[in-house]
Structure 1
Amino acid sequence: MNFQQAVQTCFRKYVEFSGRATRPEYWWFILAYVISAFVAGFIHEFLYYLVVLAFLLPLLAVGARRLHDVGRSAWFLLLGLVPVIGTLVLLYFMVQPSQPESNAYGPPSGAMPAGV
């Protein structure tokens, strides 16, 4: 999955908290968010807040799907509310490789079907 496919997939599935998201899908989308927020912050404060608001729900959804991909519940996203340690634990979960077999959250996410 490349940068463009990841961003399109995450915005298309912006309210889909079920299923799984691969590591590249998650990290490409995080990169898109960071770049967009950084650029918007230089342009205007209001634009920065619009970008953060536009990315909020898709970020939560892809984070939940990424946790599902490593066999964890989406409730682990709440660890992000714990300063430093919670963030480090979440980072550890997000960099783990995908489970190659099906888990409680569905089959592994493969390559996107052609034409999507």
Structure 2
Amino acid sequence: MDWKQLYLSLDGRIGRASYWVGSIILSIIVFIAQMADFAFGTMQEGGYGIISGIASLAVIYPSIVVTAKRWHDRGKSGWWTLILLVPIIGAIWMLVECGFLRGTQGDNQYGPDPLRY
């Protein structure tokens, strides 16, 4: 799977390794932007500045795409990402489901098993 497919298309499924790598890369992008804000003196009290604010907005869609594809691998709709709106329990639930549990074995309604290759 290429980076465009990973970050821009809601179609298909990804395994745990792709989910973690994709999420970590997006986090690194925001971290680098925060360091740039710190270096240029544009960081505000909340820990964000103009550069990291723009970077954070830029990674929202790719983050949703990566997470939705992981939910697809679990056989669930990408709308399950909204579980994050439930305080504390929602984040734990998503971490366990997307980060640690194996996806549906074999093909499902969202596409072929990413581990079959």
- TM-score of the alignment, normalized to the shorter chain, above 0.5: yes
Find the partner of 2:18 among 22, 25, 36.
25
List alignment gaps of at least 5 residues for structure 1.
Answer: none
What CA distance in whole angstroms lies between the structure 1 residues aligned with 2:8 and 2:27?
Answer: 20
1:56 aligns with 2:60: yes
Over the aligned positions, Cα root-mean-square deviation in angstroms equals 1.9
Runs of 4 or more above 4 Å deviation: none
1:39 and 1:109, CA in 2 relative to 1: closer, same or farther beyond 3 A?
Answer: same
Offset of 1:31 from its aligned partner? 0.9
- Larger relative contact order (Cα-Cα within 8 Å, sequence gap ≥ 6): 2
**AA partner of residue 100 (structure 1):** Q
Offset of 1:70 from its aligned partner? 1.2
| Contact in 1 for aligned 2:106/2:116 (Cα 8 Å) | no
Pair member with larger Rg: 2
1:72 aligns with 2:65: no
Q: Number of paired residues? A: 104
Offset of 1:110 from its aligned partner? 4.7
Identity among equivalent positions (%) equals 30
What CA distance in whole angstroms lies between the structure 2 residues aligned with 1:111 and 1:54?
Answer: 32
Offset of 1:60 from its aligned partner? 0.5
What CA distance in whole angstroms lies between the structure 1 residues aligned with 2:54 and 2:60?
Answer: 10
Other-structure match for 1:106: 111
Other-structure match for 1:97: 102
What's the TM-score once normalised by structure 2's chain length?
0.78
Offset of 1:54 from its aligned partner? 1.7
What CA distance in whole angstroms lies between the structure 2 residues aligned with 1:54 and 1:80?
Answer: 19
